[in-house]
Amino acid sequence: MYKNFSEYPAPQVYRVENQAAYFDPVRKKLVFVTPEETVRQRLIPWLLGEIGVPEKFLRVEGKFSRYGLNVKTRADFIIEACDVKENSIYPVAIIVCKSPEIELDDNAFRQMFHYAADLGCEFCALTNGADFFCYRFDGEKNLELDEMPTYSQMTS
C-alpha cells in the first residue's frame, strides 16, 4: 500500500441542473460528484502525468464489451496498449476505485482480481483514495508491487 490520493486536490466543481459536477478530462463530459467519482478524478492527473498513460489509452468507466466480452461490466479505469504487429488494442491494467468510506476488504480484492482475469490484464490496482494496492500477474499468481509501474514499464 502506498499512495494517498485524498491529499490530491479535487477538480473544480461546476453546477449542472443545481447539482455539483466535475468535468472529466478523459471522457470530455460533466459527471456528477460522488465520493467514488472524486477518487476517480483525483487519479486521472496522476495516471496521465506521473504514470505517463497516454490519454487515448485510458478508459474511464471502461466497458468490458469493448474487448469482446459479452457482459455489461465496467471498470473504473482500463489502461490499454497497442500491438502494432497484430493491429489491435488490448487492456494491460485495470484500476478499481471505491468510495473513501469503503474498506478495501476481501470482496473488493476479489472484484479487482476477477476483472483483471476477465480482461487478461497483467496489472491491476485497487484504491479508495486513502489506500492503494497494486499487483502484477506473473502467469501463476498475483504479486503485490511496491508502486504502480509507469506506462512504459507496463507496456515493455
- Per-residue model confidence as pLDDT tens digits over 67-114: 999 999 999 999 999 999 989 999 999 999 999 999 999 999 999 999
Q: Kindly state whether residue 36 falls inside one of the protein's structural domains.
A: no
Q: For the whole model, what pTM was predicted?
A: 0.94
Q: What is the DSSP string of 116-153?
A: HHHHT-SEEEEE-SS-EEEEEE-SSSEEEESSPPPHHH
Q: Kindly state whether residue 95 falls inside one of the protein's structural domains.
A: yes
Q: What's phi and psi for 123, nearest 5 deg?
A: -120, 145
Q: Kindly state whether residue 80 falls inside one of the protein's structural domains.
A: yes
Q: Kindly state whether residue 120 falls inside one of the protein's structural domains.
A: yes
β-strands 142-145, 132-137 pairing: antiparallel
CA dist., res. 106 & res. 111, Å (int): 9
Residue 26 reports pLDDT greater than 90: yes
**Count of structural domains within the chain:** 1
CATH of the domain at 101: 3.90.1570.30
If you ran DSSP here, which 8-state letter would residue 12 be given? P
Which residue do the cell numbers 473513501 mark?
100
Listed in sequence order, the DSSP H helices in 20-144 are 35-48, 106-119
Q: Which domain holds residue 118?
A: 5-9+43-154
Name the percent of the chain lying above pLDDT 90: 89
Q: Kindly state whether residue 31 falls inside one of the protein's structural domains.
A: no
- Average pLDDT of the chain, as a whole number: 94
Residue 126 reports pLDDT greater than 90: yes
Name the percent of the chain lying above pLDDT 70: 98
